[in-house]
Amino acid sequence: MARTIGRYEIRRELGRGAQSVVYLGWDPQLQREIAIKTMHFDQPDPQRNAMLLAEARTVSKLQHPNVVAIFDAGEQGGDPYLVFEYVAGQTLAERLRREGPIEPALAAGLMRQVLGALAQAHAQGIIHRDLKPSNIIMDADGAPRVMDFGIAVRGNDLPAGEEGLLGTPAYMAPEYLESRCVSEQMDVFAAGLILLEMITGRRAIQGDSVGQIVYRIRNEDVQLPRGIDEKLGDIILKACARKRELRFGDAGQMRGGVDAYLDIGSAAADGATEQQQATLEFLLRRMRHKSDFPALSDSVSAINKLTNSDR
């Protein structure tokens, strides 16, 4: 193992995949810890490397408290590397394996933060394309931080029999599996699956093979567990609709639905009147079927302010 990558000193390995290794590193110039992701491919491909570095430059402009920032990118020995902000913590996947399901309101609150990061990315024309629990890290304060925006997915191994897929099959949207259609709504689909996974503690789409998983995503509707709150369940089902046109249009719209769900609970706890709670529930029902989410989200905020002013 090289002791340095670019100007960065290697301290220890943090994890590895089939074609990548992540190291804890040190930036001697700025005197701070960083994370370095190196990618190695069997065949050199300057065009692929150039594409990776171009995407890194685009994503580096994305600044949000729930995004793991990219600091630098380059090549060494013909292999590309990415330099990230180092975030100490465990991934959401590790959190679920170790501690099990997350209480629904807390899960919705965590997803609201993830959706905030995605909404800013979508507003800048950036699509994650490989959103999954192992790409969300929980920082020391318990806040979710999204990493690997649309970059390392290009280095993924292609599943056998599914040539051309970029990403993780269990979180892929049906339209991407069918026609390689890429849009903000593929991130929405993955976010819905992750929200359900947080609540149940198990992956929403199960299968013994990649082919079986792909079949289920394309042909079977997502199933909710018994006892899930109806309002939260409706949000998940809308996010995970197999037909793209029935889904939330982007992460900002889905966040509007999650905001309404959380605001209903908050209004009830804060002593809102029955009329105010009914209005919030009406807005949430409209969000299931209408496209005017920004205006509706503003209405939710206005009702919350009214609720607080009446206390």
How many Cα atoms are found within 13 Å in the side-chain-facing hemisphere of 287? 34
Choosing from 27, 72, 79, 130, the catalytic residue is 130
Contact 255, 114 (CB under 8 A): no
Tokens for 57?
């430059």
**Would you call 234 a catalytic residue per the annotation?**
no
Longest dimension (CA), the chain: 66
* Closest by CA position to 121, among listed 170, 74, 55, 71: 55
How far apart CA 172 and CA 62 sit, in angstroms, is: 23
Phi, psi for 71 (deg, rounded to 5)? -100, -35
Contact 197, 96 (CB under 8 A): yes
Contact 59, 151 (CB under 8 A): yes
Q: Which residues of 149-168 are buried (b: 16+ CB within 10 A; e: fewer)?
A: bbbbbbbbeebeeeeebbbb
* Closest by CA position to 48, among listed 5, 84, 79, 23: 79
CB neighbour list of residue 187: distance below 8 Å, 6 or more residues apart: 118, 122, 127, 128, 129, 131, 250, 251
Strands 70-76, 79-85: parallel, antiparallel or unpaired by DSSP? antiparallel
Q: Is residue 194 helix, strand or coil?
A: helix
Which residues are marked as active site? 130
